[in-house]
Amino acid sequence: MKFGFEVLHRDMGTGARLGVLHTPHGDVPTPVFMPVGTAGAVKAMSHESLEALDARIILANTYHLYLRPGHERIEKLGGLHNFMSWDRAILTDSGGYQVFSHRELRSITEEGVHFRSHIDGSKSFFSPEKVVEIQRSLGSDIVMVLDDCTPYPAGRADAEASMELSMRWARRCREQWAGQDDGTKALFGIVQGSVYPDLRKRSAEALGDLDFSGMAIGGLSVGEPKDLMYEVVESTVPLLSWEKPRYLMGVGTPADLVRSVAMGIDMFDCVLPTRNARNGYLFTSQGRVLIKNAMYAEDQRPLDPDCSCRTCRRYSRAYLRHLFLSGEHLYAVYSTLHNLTFYLDMMRKIRDAIRLDSLGNWLGLMEKGGDSSPRDL
Ligand SMILES: [Zn+2]
C-alpha cells in the first residue's frame, strides 16, 4: 500500500478541498483534525473511544517518545502501532517544537540541536538525520522534517536566518529519507518564514524542489495576532502544490479550522480540545461552557443538547461541574470525550459542506457570530 493523497472535490465558493490520504494504516478523509497523543496516548481517551469516534489518524510527539520509553525500545516492541495497539494512521512531529519550546534547555548549531531532557536533565542531540531515523524506528505513517520553529516576534534578519537553517535541515532530512523510502510512508516538509511573505515564498519554493509527499505550514499559532496568522496562511497556501496534502501545524479553535479549510488546508492538529477539556473549557454548539461557573451548579441539562457523545447522553452539567471541582479523574475522561466529539463531528460536517459546495455559508454564519465556537454548524 503506497502513501498517497487524492483531491476528490473542490468547494465552489471557497478554496476548500475534500480529499483522502491513503496510508498503510487505512484511509483518512480530509480535511482532518488529528487528536494529539503526546506520549503514545491521547490524554484521558481510550483507543476504543477514539475508534468509536472514527478518528483515523492521531499525532504522537517524537520528543516525548524518544525520552520515554525510547524509540529503540519501541522499535524492539514492534513499532509504535504495535506497542500502543493502534492500527490506524499515526503522524509524528519531528520533536523540534518541544525542544525549541524549552528555550533554556537547548542550543542550536548548524549540525542540529543540543538539548536537555525536561524529565531528568540528561543531554541529547537531534540532527535532521536523527529525527528521521527516530520516526522510522517508531514506524510513523507520516514523518515530519526537523525545523527551527521561529519564535514570534522575530526581526526580519533572524526570521530569515532561521528559515534558511530550516531549509538546509529539510534537505538533509530528504536525503536521509531517500535511503529508506519504499513509497509506503510520507515525509512532509515544513514552510517557515515567520510573518514575512517573501520569506514564506522562498521557503515554499525551496521545499517544492525537494518533492515532499506533503507540505506543512509551521511557525504559526506561536503568539502572533490572529489576523496575521490568517494573512500568512492565505498567502502561503497558493505557493503549495495542489496535488499534495497541506497541514497547518498547531491550529486551532473551531473557527480557525473552518476559516483555514476555506483557504485550502487539509490537516490540523492542536491540543486545544483535549487540554481545554481538562481545564474546564468545553466547546458546544451553543458556544463555550466554562464548567466551573456557579450558573451550572444545578443545571440538569446535558452539556450540549446537539451532541451525541456518551457524556452528553448521560450526564448533566451539574454533575460534570461537580466532578471538575472535586478533581475526579473521570471528569477528564468525560470532558475530553465531549470536546473531541465536537471537533471530529465538526470536521465531518465541514467535509459534508464541501461536498455540497456550501462551506461559504458557514463562513458567513461565523462572521456574524464572531465566536470561537461557531453556532449552527
Ligand atoms: Zn458531547
**Interval between CA 91 and ligand 1 midpoint (Å):** 26
Check residues 74 and 373 and name the one with the higher pLDDT: 74
Pick from 284, 313, 301, 287: nearest CA to 371: 287
- Least confident piece of the model among 11-15, 114-118, 135-139, 297-301: 114-118
| Predicted TM-score (pTM) above 0.85 | yes
CA-CA distance, 196 to 181, in Å (whole number)?
Answer: 33
**Interval between CA 361 and ligand 1 midpoint (Å):** 24
Runs of H (alpha helix) within the chain: 47-52, 62-67, 71-76, 79-84, 96-101, 128-138, 156-178, 197-210, 226-236, 254-263, 272-278, 310-314, 317-326, 329-355, 359-369
Q: Is pLDDT of 314 > 70?
A: yes
**Interval between CA 247 and ligand 1 midpoint (Å):** 27
- In the numeric block, which cell numbers belong to residue 330? 473521570
Pick from 77, 75, 181, 67: nearest CA to 126: 67
Position 374 scores a pLDDT of 47
Q: Is pLDDT of 372 > 60?
A: no
**Interval between CA 311 and ligand 1 midpoint (Å):** 5
Q: How confident is the model at residue 369 (pLDDT cuts 50, 70, 90)?
A: low
Q: Is pLDDT of 239 > 50?
A: yes
CA-CA distance, 36 to 154, in Å (whole number)?
Answer: 27
Task: Report the amino acid identity of residue 152.
Answer: Y
- In the numeric block, which cell numbers belong to residue 20? 483522502
Q: How confident is the model at residue 49 (pLDDT cuts 50, 70, 90)?
A: very high
Q: Give how far the C-alpha of residue 120 lies from the chain's centroid of Cα atoms, to the nearest Å.
A: 27
CA-CA distance, 312 to 185, in Å (whole number)?
Answer: 38
CA-CA distance, 70 to 76, in Å (whole number)?
Answer: 10
Cα-Cα end-to-end distance for the chain:
35
**Interval between CA 314 and ligand 1 midpoint (Å):** 9
Q: How confident is the model at residue 175 (pLDDT cuts 50, 70, 90)?
A: very high
Q: Residues for the chain: how many in total?
A: 377
**Interval between CA 313 and ligand 1 midpoint (Å):** 7
CA-CA distance, 5 to 372, in Å (whole number)?
Answer: 30
Average predicted confidence (pLDDT) for the chain = 95
Contact 158, 110 (CB under 8 A): no
Contact 149, 192 (CB under 8 A): yes
- CB within 5 A of ion ligand 1: which residues? 307, 309, 311-312, 338
Q: What pairs with residue 189 in β-bridges?
A: 215
C-alpha distances (whole Å) from 298 to each of 285, 292, 323 are 21, 12, 13
Position 373 scores a pLDDT of 45
- In the numeric block, which cell numbers belong to residue 241? 502544490
Q: How confident is the model at residue 377 (pLDDT cuts 50, 70, 90)?
A: very low
- So which residues are the catalytic ones? 93, 269
Q: How confident is the model at residue 366 (pLDDT cuts 50, 70, 90)?
A: confident
User: 270-281 in b/e burial notation, b at 16+ Cβ within 10 A?
Assistant: bebbbebbbebb
SS3 151: coil
pLDDT digits (tens, 9 = 90+) for 127-143: 999 999 999 999 999 99
pLDDT digits (tens, 9 = 90+) for 189-204: 999 999 999 999 999 9
pLDDT digits (tens, 9 = 90+) for 261-299: 999 999 999 999 999 999 999 999 999 999 999 999 999
**Interval between CA 98 and ligand 1 midpoint (Å):** 31
In terms of C-beta density within 10 A (0-12 exposed, 13-18 middle, 19 or more buried), how is residue 149 classed? buried
**Interval between CA 354 and ligand 1 midpoint (Å):** 24
